[in-house]
Chain A
Amino acid sequence: MDECDRIVAQHGQAVWQTIYRLLGSQEGAADCFQETFFQFIQIAAKSNVDHSLALLKRIATRRAIDLIRKRANSRQKQVPLDEQYPSKEVDPWKGLAAEEFAQSLRDALQHIPPDQATVFCMTQLEQMDPSEVGTAMGIDTGHVAVLLHRARAALQGRLAKHLWASRRQP
C-alpha cells in the first residue's frame, strides 16, 4: 500500500460525503472525487501538508460548489428559488420536505462568493473548527469568521427571498 492508497483509504469516505452532500446526487460526484485527490497530491508534491483531511475537504467543497455553479450557468433559464419551490402553506417552511430545504441551500450556495461558500460549508456542514478551516485555506481565524458572517448574511437573504415569496401565496 503506497501513499496514494493510504490517503484515499483514510479520507475517501469523508471526501465522498462532503461532495455528495453538496451535489445532492452521484452526478458529477465521481469526477469531483477524483479531481479532489488529484489536486491534493499535486499540492502535496510541492509542499508539506500537515492537515490532509482539512485540505481535502477544502478542495472537495470548492470543486463541488464550482460544479453546482457550472450546472446553473448551463441552464438556459435561471429559475428563481421562489419559483422552484412554490408552497401554498401559510407557514411555508413547514411545508417543505427536508430535501427541499437542503436543495434550496445548495442552490443558494452557488450565488455567494466561493470563499464564503467554502467557509460556510466547512464550518457549518463539515463542522470543522475555524482554526482548522483557516489552516486549510491559508487564512487566519479572524478572516474565517468574517467570511462566515458574510456567508450567513448572504444565504439568509437568499433563503428569505424564498420564504417571503412563499408566504405571499394565498
Chain B
Amino acid sequence: MNADKMSDDGDILEIATRHLRESRTASMPSRELIGRTVAAMRQVPRPKTPWTAMALTAASLLLIIGAACWFISRGSGEIAFADVMQHVMQTKSFQATIIQVGDEREPHESARLSVKGPRGRFDTDDGLIIIDDDKTGDTITLDTKAKVACRSTEPINGNIDVYAELRQIASQMPKSIGKKNFDGQVLNGFSGTVTLMGKNGGSATVWVDPQSRLPARIELSLKPDGQPMAVIDNLKFDVALDDSMFDMTVPHGYELRATLPMRAPRPMPRQSANRPSTAFTRPTVEIPLPQTPGSAPTAEELERLVLKPGIGIGELKFGATRQQIVKVLGEPQGVLRQGTSEILQYSSAGVVLAVDGPLGLQFIMANGPSTFNTPKVRPFAGSTDKGVRIGSTRAAIEAAYGKDYVTVGVRVMDHPEIRQTQLTYNRLGLLVIVDSGTDRCAGLWIAPPVVTKASTKPER
C-alpha cells in the first residue's frame, strides 16, 4: 500500500466518522418509551443495604459527634474544641434511632442503636438484633423471628481510628447552615464533609441542641448535598443501659448456626408485576412529628381539610405548588427537605403533605394517634369526602370505598403491641391504615390514582 493510498484510507474513515457523528437523530425518545423504560427499571430488585453497613455507619457516629462538636467550636466560637472533645470522650453511653432512608422501591427502615463503652447493639425494625464488641471484634446476630443466632469474629465496625477520622474532618471547612425547627425544638445546623463507609466525599449535616451543646440529629449522605442515606435521630447521651442488653451469649431457645436463614423481603407498598409506574407508594422519609401537637384545628380549618382520594385535600389538588399550598393552609409547622422534595407538616391539623418541586403536591397523610411512630401527633379530626375518618370501622370504610383493596400487614417500631393493616385502593389513590385489634381506621393516606394503562415489561 503506497503513501497516497494510506492517506485516502485515512480520509475516508475520517469522512465516514464525521458523517456518522453528525447523522440525523430523533431528538428524544417518546414519552411512552420513557414510561415503559422507567417501569421496567423499577422491577429490578435492589439489594438492601445490609444492616452491617448500617452498623458501620453507626460506628461512624462517635467520630461524627466529635465532628459536630468541632463544628460548634468553629461556628460559634463559644466552645473550645478541646473541651468539647473531652466532653465527648467522657460520654459513657448513648441511644439513637437510625433511619435508613429509602425511596419508592425500597422503603425506609429504622433501628435503635444503643452504645455502652465498647459494645453496641442494633435492634432493627424487622426483628434482628446485632450486638458487637468493638474491643474483641466479636459479633452476635439474633434473628428473633426464626430464633436463630449467628456468631462472627469479623468486626462489623472495621478498624476505624476515631482520632484519625477526626483529624481528617478537622482539615475540612464545615460551615454553619443556620437554624431549623424540629418539632418545636430549634437546632443549629452544621454541614461538612466526612468519610463514610470507607468512601471520601460524604457529607454530614449535624443539628445541635443549643442548650446541651450536643448533637440531636445527624443526616448522613454519601455525596455532598446528596440525599441523606441515613438519619441518626433522637440522640440521647448517658442514658442508663443495662449490661444485659449487650449480653453476647446465645439466648435460650435459639439455635446457633453458621449463617442466618434467608429472609423473605419485607412487604412493600410498591410495584408488583402488574403495577404501573405511578404506583401508590409510601413517602420516602420518616416524618418527625412534634411531641406537642399544637392547637386543635377550627371547624373552618376542618372544612379545608376534606381528604379527596385521587384528587387532593380541600380545594388543593395533587400537583399544587408549595405556594398554592401555603396560600390555602398557611405556613407549615415543620418542614423536612430531601432533594427537591419537601415534607410539609401541619401538625396541629394532623396532616402531612409531600411536595416534589417540579411535580407539586404528591402525597397527603392524615394520621391517627397510633399511626406508626407518631403517637403524640394530634389525630386528624377531619374526614374523607365519603365520611371516613380516624376511628371509622372497616365496615364503614368498605361501605364507602368498596373491597377492591390490597392488604399489607404492618409492624410499628417501638410499639410491638400495635398491629396494623394497610388497605390500599390503588385505583382510588387511597391507603387506609386499620388497627388490627379494633379493626378501625388509624390513618388515611391519599395520592393520585394509579394509572393502569402502561405496560411494565420491556418490549421485545
Contact = CB atoms under 8 A, between A and B. Distances in A.
Interface of A: 1-5, 7-9, 12-13, 16-17, 20-21, 24, 26, 29-31, 33-35, 37-38, 40-42, 45-46, 48, 93, 98-99, 101-102, 104-106, 108, 124-125, 127, 152, 155-157, 159-160, 162-164
Contacts of A21: 20-21, 23, 25
Nearest to B46: A45
Contacts of B340: 1
Contacts of B36: 34
B251 interface: no
Contacts of B11: 93
A105 B20 CA distance: 7
Given A2-B103, A41-B41, A105-B20, 11 more contacts: A4-B41, A12-B29, A13-B27, A13-B28, A20-B25, A34-B33, A35-B458, A41-B44, A98-B23, A156-B10, A159-B12
B8 A17 contact: no
A34 B25 contact: no
B240 interface: no
Contacts, number: 131
A46 B358 contact: no
Contacts of B42: 2, 4
24 contacts: A3-B105, A4-B41, A12-B28, A13-B28, A20-B26, A21-B21, A21-B25, A29-B26, A29-B29, A30-B29, A31-B460, A45-B45, A98-B22, A101-B12, A105-B16, A105-B17, A124-B17, A124-B21, A125-B17, A125-B20, A127-B21, A156-B13, A157-B9, A160-B12
A38 B458 contact: yes
Contacts of A35: 458
Contacts of A12: 28-29, 34, 37
A30 to B, nearest CB: 5
A17 B29 CA distance: 9
A8 B359 contact: no
Contacts of A101: 12, 15-16, 19-20
Interface string B26-61: 111100011011101110111100000000000000
B459 interface: yes
A106 B41 contact: no
B104 interface: yes
A106 B37 contact: no
B41 A8 contact: yes
B41 A102 contact: no
Which has the most chain B C-beta neighbours within 10 Å: A105, A108, A127?
Answer: A105
Given A21-B25, A101-B19, A159 B13 contact: yes
A164 B1 CA distance: 11
B103 A3 contact: yes
Given A38-B41, A41-B44, A163-B8, A152 B13 contact: yes
Which has the most chain A C-beta neighbours within 10 Å: B16, B29, B40?
Answer: B16
Nearest to B1: A160
A125 B21 contact: yes
Contacts of B199: 48
A104 B27 CA distance: 23
B143 interface: no
Given A45-B45, A45-B47, A102-B16, A26 B26 contact: yes
Which has the most chain A C-beta neighbours within 10 Å: B22, B38, B47?
Answer: B38
6 tightest CB-CB pairs across the interface, nearest first? A105-B16, A102-B20, A101-B19, A4-B41, A2-B104, A34-B458
